[in-house]
Structures are given as structure tokens and as C-alpha cells.
């Protein structure tokens, strides 16, 4: 799955799409993205951002990436 496709699949479910898009695009591959997401989920204090991060992680798992 391309980054663009992952952005499109996640877009309807997140509040801060720009933040999520940047995370996806700045990652070299899915494994790097998953590592970043895990770290950010564990450290994020903002509930809305944390929820968006969890949604992205769920989408990655849903597509078996």
C-alpha cells in the first residue's frame, strides 16, 4: 500500500489529517512508521492527537502492513 492510499484510508477518521499525513510521508517504510507511532502513542499527552495516532495504528494493522 502506498503512503497516499494509507492517508486516504485514514482521513475520514482523524481530526488532524495534516499531522497524520506528515507522519506517514516522513517515514521511510511501514516498520519505521509503526515504531514512531508506538513511541508517540506512549508519550503523547494531547488526547485528540493520541486518538488520531491510535486510529492510524489500527488502520495499519487492519490492512496487515
Q: What is the pLDDT of residues 5-56, one digit of tens each?
A: 989 999 999 999 999 999 999 999 999 999 999 999 999 999 999 999 999 9
Q: Which residue has the cell 500500500?
A: 1
What is the predicted pLDDT for the residue at 65? 79
Per 3-state DSSP, the chain is made up of helix, strand and coil in percentages (nearest 5) of 80, 0, 20
Phi-psi region of 2 (alpha: psi -120 to 50; beta: other; left: phi over 0): beta
**Cell numbers describing residue 60:** 495499519
Phi, psi dihedral angles at 45 (to 5 degrees): -100, -25
Of the pLDDT bands very low, low, confident and very high (cuts 50, 70, 90), residue 60 is very high
- pLDDT value of position 19: 93
User: Looking at the predicted structure, is the pLDDT value of residue 1 above 70?
Assistant: no
Q: Write out the three cell numbers for 5.
A: 492510499
> Against a cut of 0.75, is the pTM above it?
yes
Amino acid at each position: 500500500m502506498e503512503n497516499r492510499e494509507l492517508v486516504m484510508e485514514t482521513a475520514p477518521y482523524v481530526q488532524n489529517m495534516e499531522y497524520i499525513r506528515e507522519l506517514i510521508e516522513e517515514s521511510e517504510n511501514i516498520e519505521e512508521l509503526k515504531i514512531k507511532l508506538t513511541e508517540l502513542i506512549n508519550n503523547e499527552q494531547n488526547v485528540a492527537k493520541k486518538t488520531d495516532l491510535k486510529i492510524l495504528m489500527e488502520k495499519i494493522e487492519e490492512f496487515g502492513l
